[in-house]
């Protein structure tokens, strides 16, 4: 199947700093990508929809100024967690939609730990 | 919010078929049914999806009822590596996948 890659796989950052996570579709172009967050023993929660060339749309309750999303090309979306706090520590996962039939593939996920 | 309901957990014997049910009674006529699985600490893995007809691929088979209100994912010969949380989903009105709690499948020797 199609490949979606995230980088970094894990990152540790200090409180108050910002961290960027990249999501790439390696073998297809994706006009739409999605960002999820998952806390331990919970299901995935959709955070936002990333649209190439336009602003992201955020789910209710997700702070757009804290979770900055940029989708500058058809193969790359980035999520920047600004002024990170320990409660932002989580597993962040992206997905990308491929073509007709709407098959959606997920990245491997990125573990963020804020200390 | 997720629009599907699944059993919380299911045990399956290695080598036997695993039949995972899912109810999606509010699915719209043009919405696909998707199945993914998530092994601990990894991103969800795509398994299969379908609209009306039954589907089969190298991983599994998907049986969708005629009224499309429910479906069953079949893993024909479960292995220990199939232990995972299995999610049945369809897209919301904006084309987004919203996850429910899924079914924790444990394959035992």
> What digits encode the pLDDT tens for the residues A18-74?
999 999 999 888 888 999 999 998 999 999 998 888 889 999 999 999 999 998 898
- In Å, how far is A18's CA from the nearest CA of chain B? 23
- In Å, how far is A22's CA from the nearest CA of chain B? 14
Q: Which residues of B touch A108 (CB under 8 A)?
A: 42-43
Residues A63, A60: Cα–Cα separation, whole Å: 8
Residues B30, B93: Cα–Cα separation, whole Å: 10
Phi and psi at A15, nearest 5°, equal -55, 135
- Is A98's pLDDT higher than 80? no
Both tokens of A92, joined, read: 């962040």
Any B CB within 8 A of A43 CB: yes
Both tokens of A13, joined, read: 């950052």
Q: Which residues of A touch B28 (CB under 8 A)?
A: none
Find tokens 């002024």 and name the residue: A83
* Probe site for chain A from B96, B101, B102, B103 (most A CB atoms < 10 A): B96
What does the pLDDT average to over B96-105?
Answer: 92
A7 alpha-carbon distance from chain centroid:
10
Q: Which residues of B touch A101 (CB under 8 A)?
A: 32, 49
What does the pLDDT average to over B7-26?
Answer: 95
What does the pLDDT average to over B34-41?
Answer: 93
Any A CB within 8 A of B49 CB: yes
Peptide bond into A8 cis (omega under 30): yes
Band of pLDDT at residue B27, cut at 50, 70 and 90: confident
Residues B36, A37: Cα–Cα separation, whole Å: 16
């Amino acid at each position: 199947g199609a490949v979606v890659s995230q980088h970094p796989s894990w990152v540790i950052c200090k409180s108050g700093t910002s961290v960027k996570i990249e999501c790439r579709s390696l073998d297809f172009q994706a006009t739409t990508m999605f960002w999820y967050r998952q806390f331990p023993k919970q299901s995935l929660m959709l955070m936002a929809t990333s649209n190439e060339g336009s602003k992201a749309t955020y789910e209710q309750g997700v702070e757009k100024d804290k979770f900055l999303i940029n989708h500058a090309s058809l193969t790359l979306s980035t999520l920047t967690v600004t002024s990170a706090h320990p409660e932002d520590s989580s597993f962040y996962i992206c997905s990308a939609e491929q073509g007709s039939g709407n098959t959606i593939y997920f990245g491997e996920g990125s573990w963020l730990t804020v200390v | 919010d997720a629009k599907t309901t699944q059993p919380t957990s299911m045990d399956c014997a290695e080598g036997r078929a695993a039949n995972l049910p899912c109810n999606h009674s509010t699915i719209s006529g043009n919405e696909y049914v998707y199945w993914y699985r998530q092994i601990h600490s990894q991103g969800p893995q795509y398994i299969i999806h379908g609209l009306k007809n039954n589907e089969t691929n190298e991983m599994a088979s998907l049986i969708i009822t005629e009224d499309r209100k429910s479906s069953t994912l079949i893993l024909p010969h479960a292995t220990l590596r199939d232990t995972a949380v299995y999610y049945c989903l369809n897209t919301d009105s904006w084309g987004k996948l919203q996850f429910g709690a899924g079914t924790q499948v444990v394959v035992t020797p």
